[in-house]
Amino acid sequence: MLVSVVDIILLAFLVVTALAIVRLRNLFGVVMLSGIYSLLMAVIFTLLDAVDVAFTEAAVGAGVSTVLMLGTLSLTTNQEKAPTHTRILPLIVALVTGATLIYATTGMPRLGDPNAPIHHHVAPRYINESGTEVGVPNIVTSVLASYRGYDTLGEVTVIFTAGIGVMMVLGRRRAKPKPGEKRREAAEDGKAEDAA
């Protein structure tokens, strides 16, 4: 009961934050609100028993993302231009898509239902066997590093590719890009060269 009330309040905060992001035109404020959004999301994840996800979201979503965006704002602008004309079509598209998705949820199992199909596939095996098969108390760790290790390898590949991408986009004119802090330094160098 109490959990439900807290959940509803937090989700309401989340919606308010998202709508404020749409309305606000000061980009610094938008970035701060997106940090708050991530933090609220992390609290909701804790409430929904996903503790590992919660601290990753708090560290990576609210921390690293915000820093990256602030870096971008310092290199670009922190004020969004006022829209020249009202855009009604995107609103209609979003509303229609939303209505379709809400219609789709009528076929979904209720929240927290232990008989939902998602809980009867591979999850029982992870929960029952990972203690003896892998030997780590945290089931999420067992699945991440052992049962679905290839997924994690794929994740590392994606991050590596993204790192190369950022270096190629921003560090082109630099002879030897230094590891770490490459994004901002390289971009600032680029700016300095442009000014010169």
Residues 136 to 155 in contact with another protein, rule: CB under 8 A? 137-140, 143-144, 148, 151-152, 154-155
Which of 69, 174, 185, 189 forms a contact with another protein (CB under 8 A)?
69
User: What are the C-alpha distances in Å from 122 to residues 107, 110, 113, 127?
Assistant: 22, 20, 17, 9
Q: Is 39 in the site for another protein (CB under 8 A)?
A: no
| Contact between residue 41 and residue 74 where contact means Cβ atoms under 8 Å apart | no
Q: Is 175 in the site for another protein (CB under 8 A)?
A: no
Minimum CB–partner distance for residue 175 and another protein (Å): 18
Q: How many residues bind another protein (CB under 8 A)?
A: 97
Among candidate residues 114, 137, 161, 132, the one with its CA nearest the CA of residue 52: 137
Minimum CB–partner distance for residue 79 and another protein (Å): 9
Which of 9, 19, 133, 178 forms a contact with another protein (CB under 8 A)?
19
- Structure-token pair, residue 26: 């000061």
Which of 133, 150, 158, 189 forms a contact with another protein (CB under 8 A)?
158
Per the DSSP assignment, residues forming a β-bridge with 79 are 26
Other Cβ atoms within 10 Å of 61 Cβ, number: 19
Contact letters for another protein, residues 75-104 (x by CB under 8 A): xxx--xx-xx--x--xx-xxx-xx--xx--
Helix, strand, or coil here: 26? strand
Which of 175, 179, 181, 194 forms a contact with another protein (CB under 8 A)?
194
| Contact between residue 78 and residue 28 where contact means Cβ atoms under 8 Å apart | yes
Q: Is 68 in the site for another protein (CB under 8 A)?
A: yes
Q: Is 9 in the site for another protein (CB under 8 A)?
A: no
Supply the DSSP symbol for 113.
-
- Structure-token pair, residue 112: 């927290």
Q: Is 36 in the site for another protein (CB under 8 A)?
A: no
